[in-house]
Structure formats: C-alpha cells, structure tokens
A and B are shown apart, each in its own frame.
Chain A
C-alpha cells in the first residue's frame, strides 16, 4: 500500500495527481486506443480533454479509473501505481475520485438524497455523516430544496447537478467528468462548468472530457487534445482551437 500510494493522495499544488509515462493500450480486438501517451497533471489543475470520437478519450478515462490496464507504460493516479496495483485495491483508488457521467447515471427508484447518499454508504459512512454531508453537497450544487424529488421530476441540468453532488460528497482529491454537459442545454452547460471551476478553486483537481469548443475557449483551462490515441496538443490557458 505504501508503495502504491506513493504521494499519499495529497493535493499539494506541485504534486502530480495523474501521471502517464509511455502508456499504450491495445484491445484484444487489435484496436490501438492509446500509443505512447505521456501526461502529467498536478494537483489542483483543471484540465479539458478534447478529441474526436475514437481519439482515445474513453480509454484514457478507463485507465485512470483502472477499469482497463495499460499494455505498456506506467500510470500513477492519486499516489496509486495502477500498473502494479492488485484488483482488490481498485475500490480504494476510486474512493479518492468523484466521477460525473454524461448520462447522469442516477438510480430512478431513489430520490435525490438517496442517490447522493448511495456514494457514502459504499464507503461505510455512518447515518449521521450521510445526513450532514449529503445536505452539504446538495447545497453546494444548489439543490438543497430538491432532496426528496425523484430523478424523473428534475430537468437534465438538475440531474447532472445531482450527479455532481454525488461525485463531491466523499470530498475526493480528483473529479473526472465525462462530457458532463453533453446532455444539457448551453446555459446549463455554463452553470455546470462554473460549478466545477468553483470546486477546482477549493483545491480539487478536475479532469473534464468535452466536445464543446465554446466551453473550452470561455473557461480558459489547460487543454489536452487526443487524436488517434496520441496527444496532439497540450496547451495551458485554453488556447486550443
């Protein structure tokens, strides 16, 4: 565990929270998803990952979550060495990150409160902590008054904010957002990215996959562009065109 969690999962500004060194991933079907990728993302950064379909964005995210293993290279996330980490340690890695999905992934039979609380139950939080932290997370995303609503009663933007609250509730070091604005209108997209930016300002590293060039341009964060499994651009300050 000491070996794997090399830097203790801290969020010190200069410490790399995600590090890819010479990473390649080829699926059993023969598809080369990533080739010799080298990335270093330090704690507290906000990074947009952009690229067309099939560029390797999903594989990149799967490797960070350790849903897939790289064929070659070294991956370190939140102090865990994903290359040597046994499968049983994967839950520990994931508890250090919050994940926001494009399709919200809310459980339709649970209300807003239960959907967010769900993430806390998984890590074994007490009922008292669940009540306190879920209310706090819902307030952060502006849904304090919707705790009892069911997902079907919410707009797309509200549902994504519930997803964001769920990602935030365990106070992760890193938030991974997979096209969080893909299913919401432009105004709500700006709101969601604003929320993520606010969270980032409090020290949480944010990694967001997006196709929306306007958001990338307007929010002026670091941009990494993938094409055919390779990094073709890595520009700080949203200078991506």
Chain B
C-alpha cells in the first residue's frame, strides 16, 4: 500500500475516533478501568512476591559437614546412617569420650603389631590424634575442603547463595541464640570435649517450590552430614507464590477479554454508523484491508490513549496508597512505582493495541464477510 494511502487511512482512523467521540470516551473509560485493575493486580502480585522473597531470603538451610568436630562427637561411628533432614549437630553422642578411647587403643595396637606391613605404611598418614580421631574418620579436613564443598553446593540448580560458616562461628551463633544461662552448656562442652558444632554451609534457595529436590541433591554430596531447615515455611512460601501467580493470571486474562469486548463493541457501533461510507468504498473498488485500516487505527488509538491515562491514574493512586502505608505501618519494604513504571506502561500499551487491533479486525472482517451490501448500502 502506498504511503499516501496509509497517511489518508491513518487520518481517517483518527477522524473516526473524533467523530464518534462519545463512544470513544466511553470505551477509553472502560478500558482505563480494566487496565488500572490489571495494573493493581500486577502491583499487588509484585509486592507479595517481594515480601515472600524476603521470607525466602530469611529461610536459609544449614548443611552441616562431616568434619573433625562431627567425628569428635560420634559422627564417624554411624556416618552412613545419620544423614537426614531436621536433625541437629547438637544431638552428638554423649559416648564420644569412651568411643574415642576405644578407637585410640585399637589404633595403637595395630600400629605396634605390624610395623613392617603395607597396611602400617598407610596407617602412618592416618594416625589417631589425642582424641582418637583419624583423618579417615571424617571427610572435611580443613577450611579449603569446606569451601570446596560450598562451591559444589553452589553449582546445584536452584541454589542462590552459599556461605561457609566455620564451627567457631556456628558455636558463637548458637550461643547468641540461647537465653541467658543456657549458653553455658555449650561453653562447657567446648571447654571439656571440644567444639560440638560442625562447620556448615548456609544455603539460600531461589525457588522454594523446588525445596525437596534441592535438598536431595545437596545430601548426595560427599561431606554433607545433615540438613537443618524449615521445610514447612518453604511449603507455605511456595503455596503463597503459586496462589498469587494463579490469581494474577486469571484477573489479567478476564480483564483482557473484557477489554477486547469493549473495543470490539465500539468498533461495531462506528462500523454501523459508517456503513454508507463502507458501501461506497467497496463499490468504488476498495480492498478489504483499505476498509479495515481506519477501524484498526481507531482501535489502536483508543488502546493507546487508554494506556497513557491508566498509567497516570495508577501512578497517582499507587503513590497515595504507598505514602499512606509508609506513614501508618512505617515499612518501606514495598515495590516503588518507579521500579515498574516502564514495563507497566508497556503492558498497558500492549493490552491497548492488542485489544484495539484484534477487536477491530474481528468486527470489520465479520461485517465484510457476512453483512453489508455495496449496492443497497445496508
């Protein structure tokens, strides 16, 4: 189509919108209402996601390691069976001392009996220390190995962040969380038998709905003993996110259909108002697309104007609402309009153009195919 024709048709579309201004204003009004509700649904969803995201950040998982302290408190004696969630490093066996003595005695005996055997050569590097713990009794021997394990964990899908917590930091943290007086028990353990806390990987996940499968993958890694987490909270967070997502989808879908119907109806009225013009157009050799374009332009214009008004209106309403929330609740942990302004505008324009173009194309195509007479102008 020639540029002059396009310009003419675009002008006709704008003129149509003006000539039918009452219908145009009514359509813009309803479309703006739909867009504002869609925008509110998006903003509410974003705020819920942000709040849930904060909860997710707080809902960290601790993966305790099979390190020296773990072996010291009896971890090595049942290393293959102690793994599991919701257990704690603090449940270390009280029999550690006697176990250690036995282990030490055994090691000493073996060492003195076969000093020339191959086994005794190997055992030279696997000597028990004063607590009876041999290097082969545990998996994580130093900070480097602990950090390497953290790196392995970080590679697992859905793991957002991993932080290495040394056993000393872990002990301090536990003591701090105790009420006054109770922390003395841990001080006693530390002084008498050594630090009861194993080193740990502090893990944050991206998506709490994949919590269980992520935990399974972490547990498969060599060197991980137990996982401490709040799986109930993870389930609730996942459920909230899912609920908000589904509700948002349906609100947007329903309002999109309403928008489409509204624009279609306006175009339908315009079309019947202009049936004389359409009949003359067809009689003098206008193609279907030539007849259609002014209506499409009109639909697009209604959509675009509605998008701009909705953006402005939503900005004003949301600003008032957030200022009130900040003033009354004192929280600033909300989604600011400036963070979403551009993409909300794009969403509105997208909805407007989609509804405008599709609504007009459906209506005018139906009219051109099934109705209207060029000869009788009906």
Q: At the interface, yes or no: B280 with Cβ under 8 Å from chain A?
A: yes
Complex Cα distance, B4 from A123, in Å, reads 11
Find B279's partner among A62, A105, A127, A170 (CB 8 Å cutoff).
A105
Assuming the A-B contacts A121-B5, A121-B8, A124-B1, are A99 and B284 also in contact, with contact meaning beta carbons closer than 8 angstroms in the complex?
A: yes
For this complex, into which size category does the number of interface residues on chain B fall? 20 to 34
B6 (CB) vs chain A CBs: closest residue: A124
Please name all residues of chain B whose beta carbon is closer than 8 Å to the beta carbon of A61 when the two chains form the complex.
375
Docked pose: A88 CA to B282 CA in angstroms: 12
Q: Does A25 contact B (CB under 8 A)?
A: no
**Chain A residue contacts of B286, Cβ below 8 A:** 91, 122
Pick from B277, B283, B288: contact of A65, CB under 8 Å: B283
Q: A67-B375, A91-B286 are in contact. Are A118 and B4 (CB under 8 A)?
A: no
B217 to chain A, nearest CB (A): 60
Flag if B375 contacts A62 (CB, 8 Å): yes
Q: How far is the CB of A96 from chain B (nearest CB, A)?
A: 8
Give the CA-CA distance A122 to B291 in the complex, in Å: 9
Docked pose: A46 CA to B1 CA in angstroms: 35
B276 touches A122 (CB 8 A): no
Least distance between B224 CB and chain A CB atoms (Å): 69
Chain A, residues 37-64, CB within 8 Å of chain B (1/0): the string is 0000000000000000000001001100
**Which of A58, A88, A103, A123 lies in contact with B285, CB distance below 8 A?**
A123
Residue B287 interfacial (CB < 8 Å):
yes
Kindly report which residue of chain B lies nearest to residue A96, judged by CB atoms.
B285
What are the 4 tightest A-B residue pairs by CB atom distance, in nearest-first order?
A95-B285, A94-B285, A122-B286, A119-B284
**Which residues does A use to contact B, with CB under 8 Å?**
58, 61-62, 65, 67, 88, 91-95, 98-99, 101, 103, 105, 107, 109, 118-119, 121-127, 166, 170, 178
Residues of chain B having any CB pair with chain A under 8 Å: 1-2, 4-5, 8, 19, 276-277, 279-288, 290, 373-377
21 residue pairs bridging A and B, Cβ less than 8 Å apart: A58-B376, A62-B375, A65-B283, A65-B374, A65-B375, A67-B373, A67-B374, A88-B287, A93-B285, A94-B282, A94-B285, A98-B284, A103-B377, A105-B276, A105-B283, A105-B377, A118-B281, A124-B1, A124-B5, A126-B4, A170-B284
- A67-B373, A99-B284 provided; 11 other pairs, C-beta below 8 A? A94-B282, A94-B284, A95-B285, A98-B284, A101-B377, A103-B377, A107-B277, A121-B5, A122-B284, A122-B285, A170-B284
